Amino acid sequence: MTSLVHRRFAPGPARDYILPWDSIKPGDGILIACRVSRHQQDKNLPGQEAFLVREAKRGGAVVFDTYRAEVSGFDPLWLLPAVRRAKELGAKFLVADSTDRFVRHPAFKSTDKCKDLQARKFELEDLLVVADGLQLVTFLDPEAPPREVERHRSLRGQLEKGNVGGRPQRKKHRRQKLRPRAITMREHEMSYREISDVLKVPLATVFRWLKSHVSS
């Protein structure tokens, strides 16, 4: 019984199917895929797209095209038009914000205890079939937990609105001392994840620091 429950709810090894962001090298051609589940969320698509385009170009990638969809992520077949377009253009990678933009656990619900469910091995295998040899990449770690994915999206939304919130001043001051190091590390082509791990600060904080640096 325990084994059956584990198979039904345990997240799959997403890193075996999806590459990390730093797999994209200068000059690589990519197609960006953006997805929201419902029409009421379509206002989030431009921000999702703009962020990925900006980060891809910052790393020297060539953005061949973007694809937007308002569709459930339970079935990866929604990606077929994006895959076809990417192959037509000769793109090396199909890129999304996070694994759940590509595919989700079929029991996922954003409003209850199922909101932490992640795609299983079954869904990831189906995703690979749909990709038809095209390499998949996500900005966040392919196995980033739902809480981290949500923080990332929340911060991105705040930045778009010019509102990054606040934190206790003492802690903020300590972390702010690390910001120059983060900028230098990024200039030496370290990934957001690597900077976060080395400095031991949240990925969202690194994202905020470097977004502010790019804008200044």
Domain residue ranges in the chain: 2-146, 167-215
For residue 140, count other CB atoms closer than 10 A to its CB.
24
Amino acid at 168: P
CATH topology of domain 2-146: Rossmann fold (3.40.50)
Determine the Cα–Cα distance for residues 4 and 6; give it in Å rounded to an integer: 5
pLDDT in tens, 98-108: 999 999 988 87
pTM of the model: 0.72
Q: Which residue has the higher pLDDT, 112 or 105?
A: 105
- Distance in angstroms (rounded) separating the CA atoms of residues 106 and 109: 9
The residue behind tokens 């082509």 is 189
- Going from the C-alpha of 149 to that of each of 81, 194, 202, the distances in angstroms are 25, 17, 12
pLDDT by residue (tens digit) across 153-189? 887 776 666 554 545 445 556 667 788 888 888 887 7
The torsion angles phi and psi of 65, rounded to 5 degrees, stand at -170, 170
